[in-house]
Amino acid sequence: MLLADGDAGALPDAEGERESLERSLIPLLRGSSPHRPSSPSSPGRSPPLPLPDASLSALRSLLGSRQLQLQETGGRLLSAQSSAQHLRKQLGEAEASRQEAELRSQQLQGERDGAYRERDTALRERDRLRQDRDTLTSEKADLEKATQAAQSKVQMLQMDCEKLQLAATAAQREREREREEKEAAVQERDRARAETERVQKQWEQSESRASTQRGELSAVRETHQQVAVERQVLEGEKAQLAEALARAESGNAELALLVNKLRSEEASLRDSLAKMGSLNEGLAQDKLDLNSIIIQVSD
C-alpha cells in the first residue's frame, strides 16, 4: 500500500515536470520566430526556422537542468520504492508478530485456565485430606478406647489366671495328700481286714473328699468354660482390633506390642488349660486307684 502511494506520487511529479518543460519551451519557440504576414498562396504551415544561439543555449541549459531533475526524481522514486518494500517487510513482520502474540495470548489463556483448574483440584484435594485426617483422628481415638478396654479385659484375665493357678496349686496339694494316704493304705493293707469298720469310715471320708473334689472340679470346669467364652470374646475383640489397626497408622508399635502380649497371654492361658486338663486326669486316676484300694480292702 505504501509502495503504491509512493509510485502514484512520483508519476504526477514527472508528468508535471514534462508539462512545465513544454510550457517553458513554447515562449522560446514563439519568441524566436519572425512575424510574417501570411499570404494566401503560402501553404498551411511554414517550415521551422533555425533558433538563435542564445535561445539554443538556454534551451540546452534548461534541458540539462530538467534532466538532472528527472534523475533526482528517479532516484527519489527508487528510494521511495525501496522504502515501500522495507515497509512492506516490516508490515509483514508486524503481522506475523501480531499473529504470534495472539497465539501466545491464547496459549497463556489456556495455561491460566489450566492453572485455575489445577488450583481447584488442589483445593478439593486439600479438603479431602483434611476430612481423611479428621477421620483418622476419630478412628485413632476409638482405637485408643478399644485398647484401654482390651487392657482391662487382659487384667481381668490375668486375675482369673491367678485364681486358676491358686486352684491348681490347692488341687496339687490335695493330690499329694491323697497320694500319701494311698501309700499309707498300701502299708496297712495286711491290717485292713481287722480294721474294716475304720476303713469304711475312711472310705466315707474319702467319698466326702471326692465329693468335695468333684465340686471343686465342677467349679474348675465352669471357670474353664468361662475362660473359653472370654477367650472367644477376646478373639472377637482381637479381630476387631486387627481391623482397626489395619485402618489406623501402620507404624503404631504400641498396638503391635499389645497384640503380641495378648497372644503370649493366650498361649499361657492355653498352657494353664492344658495343665488343668492333666490335673483333672490325675485326679480321676487317683480316684480310680482309691476305689480299687477300697475294693481290695473290702475283699
C-alpha angle 198/202/207, rounded to 5°? 145
Q: What is the pLDDT of residue 226?
A: 80
At position 234, the amino acid (one-letter code) is L
Over 60: is that where the pLDDT of 7 sits?
no
Residue 40 lies in a domain: no
Cα dihedral sign, 116-122-123-124: positive
Above 60 in pLDDT, residue 34? no
Residue 72, classed as helix, strand or coil, is helix
What are the tens digits of pLDDT across the range 200-244? 776 777 677 767 777 777 776 787 778 778 778 877 777 777 676
Q: For residue 218, what is its C-alpha cell?
A: 465342677
Flag the least confident range among 94-103, 213-222, 274-283.
Answer: 213-222
pLDDT in tens, 154-205: 888 888 888 888 888 888 888 888 888 878 767 766 676 666 677 577 677 7
Q: By the 8 A CB rule, do 272 and 164 touch?
A: yes
Burial class (CB in 10 A: 0-12, 13-18, 19+), 202: middle
Contact call for residues 55 and 24 (beta carbons, < 8 A): no
Q: Would you say residue 242 lies in a domain?
A: yes
Grid cell at residue 273: 488349660
- Mean pLDDT calculated for residue range 10-37: 50
Residue 175 lies in a domain: yes
Instruction: Provide the greatest CA pair distance for the chain.
Output: 213
pLDDT-based confidence at residue 62 (cuts at 50, 70, 90): confident
Angle at 246 between CA 240 and CA 252, to 5 degrees: 105
Residue 60, CA distances (Å) to 7, 14, 71, 72 in order: 29, 19, 16, 18
AA letter at 275: K
In whole angstroms, give the CA distance from residue 254 to residue 243.
Answer: 16
| The overall pTM is greater than 0.85 | no
Of the listed ranges 132-146, 180-194, 255-269, the one predicted with least confidence: 180-194
- Its domain, for residue 171, covers 140-298
Phi, psi of 236 (to 5 degrees): -60, -45
Q: How far apart are CA 14 and CA 26, in angstroms?
A: 19
Burial of 62 (0-12, 13-18, 19+ CB in 10 A): middle
Looking at the 3D structure of the chain, how many domains does it have? 1
Averaged pLDDT score across all residues of the chain: 75
Cα 46 to Cα 60: distance, rounded to the nearest angstrom: 24
Q: Which helix (H) or strand (E) holds 249?
A: none
Residue 129 lies in a domain: no
Domain assignment present for 288: yes
Give domain status of residue 38, yes or no.
no
pLDDT of 153 higher than 50: yes
Residue whose grid cell is 514563439: 30
Decide if 10 is inside a domain: no
Give the span between the Cα atoms of 21 and 119, in whole angstroms: 79
Please indicate, yes or no, if residue 13 is contained in any of the structural domains.
no
